[in-house]
Amino acid sequence: MTRFVLVLAIVASATCGPRVTPLLDLPKPTRDAGVGDDGGLDDAGVLAGLDCRPCDTWGPVQILAPLPMDLVELSGLSASAAMPGVFYGHNDSGDSARLFAFSATGLLLAELKLPGATATDWEDMALGPCEGGGSCLFLADIGDNLRRRGNYVIYRSREPDLRAVVSGAMQAPVQMELTFDRLPFVYPNGERHNAETLLSHPVTGDLYIVTKAPGGTQSRVFRFPRPFTPGTTVTLIDLGDATVPAQGDSLVTGGDISPCGDAVIFRMYNRNVVLHAAPDAGFESAFTAMPLEAPVPIDEPQGEAIVWGLDGQSYFSASEGSGQSLHGVRCARP
């Protein structure tokens, strides 16, 4: 992976700002993330206190905080493991190549730009391990409503170090330019797909694309070949159909792999579902598992973004549209 450099614009001052409070008592990493020579986070940290048991009963939906006003068409959402309580989000097509970092209380922390990248139709993002170690952001330019695109791309950048902003030592919001590399791809046999779901496995680092299948058909799952080769167009590996959407469901608009690495949550307009991998069968068995329903906020008219909490027993979601809020749901384990 090429070196990454962060350029901090001089819009930030050294004056103190609000501290970021972790949401829903999220667990902290057992060790602090370090900062590499390139300014990115070297170590996302190993989370303590993970409870990887399937959740039998979910608690009520909580309205947590208004989204930053810049996120008017939220399409992708990720949660930082290195900086608990920090979320990343980006808009759907129509925005420039940028994303935003914000706190659990809705405080805008940073505008993060990718100069030189294109934003044809950014549909999702994921946060996962970099191949050389550390934590990376993956941004998916994979939307293709008319199925006319000849190629697609994932942008990969090291997760920026925002700890000075998080602690309040630096005034929020700041502006940063992220360097990145491109992971271009095509589908097998010249196929073209519309997709809105990118998944990064927290242990293996494998990347998956889950299609937004036409009405009445199930989504297809594709995996990136390894190792990742920046700038080289690769053909994805077809893993077959998932068990979602089921009959009567709307289309799959987002998803995330749990911090335990053994379950995936999918977002649809009408419901959320969790699929668990079969014991000793490998993670990818989750894609064909029986979907277990999880609560969906009634005030998310066009929900396309969902992410697991760091404890593996909660998740967060939000809808496209102005004036939307971040919602959270925690397992109601007795």
- Residues of the chain with confidence (pLDDT) below 70: 1-49
* CATH number for the domain that contains residue 297: 2.115.10.20
Query: Within a domain: residue 107?
Result: yes
Residue ranges making up the domain that contains 112: 70-330
Tell me what pLDDT residue 14 has. Answer: 34
Smallest Cα–Cα separation from 79: which of 244, 253, 257, 229?
Answer: 257
Tell me what pLDDT residue 47 has. Answer: 55
Are the beta carbons of 41 and 160 closer than 8 angstroms? yes
DSSP H helices, the chain, are: 163-167
Smallest Cα–Cα separation from 27: which of 43, 45, 10?
Answer: 45
Are the beta carbons of 68 and 183 closer than 8 angstroms? no
Query: Within a domain: residue 3?
Result: no
The single-letter code of the amino acid at 268 is M
Query: Within a domain: residue 23?
Result: no
Tell me what pLDDT residue 36 has. Answer: 52
Tell me what pLDDT residue 48 has. Answer: 57
Query: Within a domain: residue 35?
Result: no
Query: Within a domain: residue 50?
Result: no
Query: Within a domain: residue 63?
Result: no
Tell me what pLDDT residue 301 has. Answer: 85
Query: Within a domain: residue 312?
Result: yes
In tens, the pLDDT along 306-334 reads 999 999 999 999 999 989 999 999 999 87
* Domain total of the chain: 1
Query: Within a domain: residue 148?
Result: yes
What does the buried/exposed string (b/e) look like for 172-181 if buried means 16 or more CB atoms within 10 Å of the residue's CB?
A: bbbebbbbbb
Rounded CA-CA distance 127/125 in Å is: 7
In tens, the pLDDT along 74-113 reads 999 999 988 999 999 999 988 999 999 999 999 999 999 9
Tell me what pLDDT residue 214 has. Answer: 76
